[in-house]
């Protein structure tokens, strides 16, 4: 991406377990306070897993949705619309006064699962009440691309409109693909990110059946513990993060605040297994190398990595191996942390909320901590910023996102002047 226009992040919208304002989100992330607690969305009494990182006190802003409309929409759609509106607001952009032509503003919003609650609800209606009672809104409000579609309709954005569904890499892929559009002139600005709302009986039951989730039900706040010897799985999170991005020239011309620049992006696949990462770490390592090459920098120029860091036994040690493969001795000089230790794993939205965390880390020159890292795994021997964040001079940072099916995405962000 070093050729073409430089891409600036000028707005961030967040709906998350760690808060739904930037100030609150950054305060919680930088302090390392876990947002995991007992599930309240449904009665989880009979479930093996009874904990999750839920969005608390979410209120539909009537600036974006009226209550009647909101009642019909799956929660992942509500999250996406509110996060997009907040990203535009944070960037100082009004929907009726866009800084560029509306036909040149892309919307790329992904989701790993989409409207699973809408699917569950209508499946129950079909079984219990018959096909005539299935909602006419069922199909449009369950499909993944409706988040990008509704956001475009809501804010009048007529540029490329895409949904990226690449499991837990969806959000990072969405940001990277949108940045490429701006870099190479296919769009002048973009709303990009992802949304997920999968704390439902079927989703929790399914991931629990795979033994992918932590079962630390008696200590939920300590359940998400990436790189810790006693980790036992990830914790389901939910929410959305959407970034407003534009060319540096456009941002400078209108005097916009710039959080960070998207300097490099890469995507590849392990071609190994439907759920497990390649045990050698080759796919993840190659993706990081390609992202660094795309940014035109060497590994030694990176100071911070926001790791995929899921808190699963396999992912954390394999990602560590991949980082050491790419960065060699410099790996031990890096600050590496996983903000999933605070927010849980937002599935498809993980990559975008963690890109937002990286942009804020660059903006504040501060490395957020890995919460609950009390007993490091012997195979995870890097500096994971345990328990307490720290001030850090960060020029370049890397964000890793890896997903089921072996899909990988890496983004390189650079500090703004």
Q: Which of 163, 308, 380, 410 is catalytic?
A: 308
Total H helices, total E strands in the chain: 12, 14
Whether 35 sits among the annotated catalytic residues: the reply is no
Whether 308 sits among the annotated catalytic residues: the reply is yes
Question: Residues near 111 by Cβ (< 8 Å), separated by ≥ 6?
Answer: 76, 80, 144, 147, 163, 165, 170, 194, 195, 196, 348, 349
CA nearest 346: which of 214, 143, 194?
A: 194
Report the C-alpha gap between 88 and 102 in whole angstroms: 13
Q: Which of 35, 173, 287, 345 is catalytic?
A: 345
CA nearest 246: which of 174, 154, 194, 181?
A: 181
CA 200 to chain centroid, in Å, comes to 19
Long-range pairs for 325-333: beta carbons < 8 A, 24 or more residues apart: 325/281, 325/282, 325/285, 326/285, 326/288, 326/289, 326/292, 326/299, 327/299, 327/300, 327/302, 328/299, 330/299, 330/300, 330/302, 331/382, 332/382, 332/383, 333/383
Residue 83 phi/psi, 5-degree rounding, is -65, -40
Number of Cβ within 10 Å of residue 393's Cβ equals 8
Report the C-alpha gap between 381 and 397 in whole angstroms: 19
Instruction: Find where tokens 């999968």 sit.
Output: 198
How are the residues of the chain apportioned to helix, strand and coil, as percentages rounded to the nearest 5? Answer: 40, 20, 40
Instruction: Find where tokens 């959305």 sit.
Output: 240
Residue 373, SS3 per DSSP: coil
Pairing of strands 161-162, 105-110: parallel
Report the C-alpha gap between 289 and 266 in whole angstroms: 8
CA nearest 317: which of 283, 288, 277, 344?
A: 277
Whether 273 sits among the annotated catalytic residues: the reply is no
Distance set, CA 256 to CA 1, 21, 99 (Å): 22, 19, 11
Q: Which of 168, 287, 380, 410 is catalytic?
A: 168
The DSSP element (H or E) to which 12 belongs, if any, is strand 7-15
Q: 3-state secondary structure string, 188-226?
A: CEEEEEEEECCCCHHHHHHHHHCCCECCCCCCHHHCCCC
- Residues known to be catalytic: 168, 308, 345
């Amino acid at each position: 991406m070093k050729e073409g226009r430089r891409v600036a992040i000028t707005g961030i919208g967040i709906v998350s377990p760690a808060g739904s304002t930037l100030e609150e989100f950054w305060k919680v992330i930088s302090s390392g306070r876990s947002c995991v607690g007992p599930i309240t969305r449904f009665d989880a009494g009979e479930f093996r897993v009874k904990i999750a990182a839920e969005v608390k006190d979410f209120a539909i802003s009537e600036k974006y949705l009226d209550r009647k409309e909101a009642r019909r929409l799956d929660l992942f759609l509500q999250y996406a619309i509110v996060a997009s509106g907040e990203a535009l607001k944070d960037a100082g952009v009004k929907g009726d006064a866009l800084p560029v032509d509306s036909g040149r503003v892309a919307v790329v919003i992904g989701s790993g699962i989409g409207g699973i609650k809408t699917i569950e609800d209508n499946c129950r209606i079909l079984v219990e009440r018959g096909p005539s009672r299935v909602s006419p809104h069922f199909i449009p409000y369950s499909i993944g691309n409706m988040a990008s579609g509704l956001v475009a309709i809501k804010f009048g954005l007529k540029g490329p409109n895409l949904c990226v569904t690449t499991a837990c890499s969806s959000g990072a892929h969405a940001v990277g693909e949108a940045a490429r559009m701006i870099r190479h002139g296919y769009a002048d600005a973009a709303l990009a990110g992802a949304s997920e709302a999968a704390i439902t009986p079927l989703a929790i039951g399914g991931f629990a059946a795979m033994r992918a989730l932590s079962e630390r039900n008696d200590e939920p706040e300590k359940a998400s513990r990436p790189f810790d010897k006693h980790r036992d799985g990830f914790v389901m999170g939910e929410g959305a993060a959407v970034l407003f991005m534009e060319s540096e020239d456009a941002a400078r011309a209108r005097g916009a605040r710039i959080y960070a620049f998207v300097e490099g992006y890469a995507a590849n696949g392990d071609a190994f297994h439907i759920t497990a990462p390649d045990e050698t770490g080759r796919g993840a390592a190659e993706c990081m190398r390609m992202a660094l090459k795309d940014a035109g920098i060497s590994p030694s120029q990176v100071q911070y990595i926001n790791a995929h860091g899921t808190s699963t036994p396999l992912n954390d040690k394999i990602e560590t191996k991949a980082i050491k493969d790419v960065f060699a001795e410099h790996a031990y000089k890096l600050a590496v942390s996983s903000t999933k230790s605070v927010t849980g794993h937002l599935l498809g939205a993980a990559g975008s909320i963690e890109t937002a965390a990286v942009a804020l880390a660059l903006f504040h020159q501060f490395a957020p901590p890995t919460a609950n890292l009390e007993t490091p795994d012997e195979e995870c021997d890097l500096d994971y910023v345990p328990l307490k964040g720290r001030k850090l001079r960060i020029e370049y940072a890397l964000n890793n996102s890896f997903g089921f099916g072996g899909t990988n995405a890496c983004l390189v962000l650079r500090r703004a002047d």
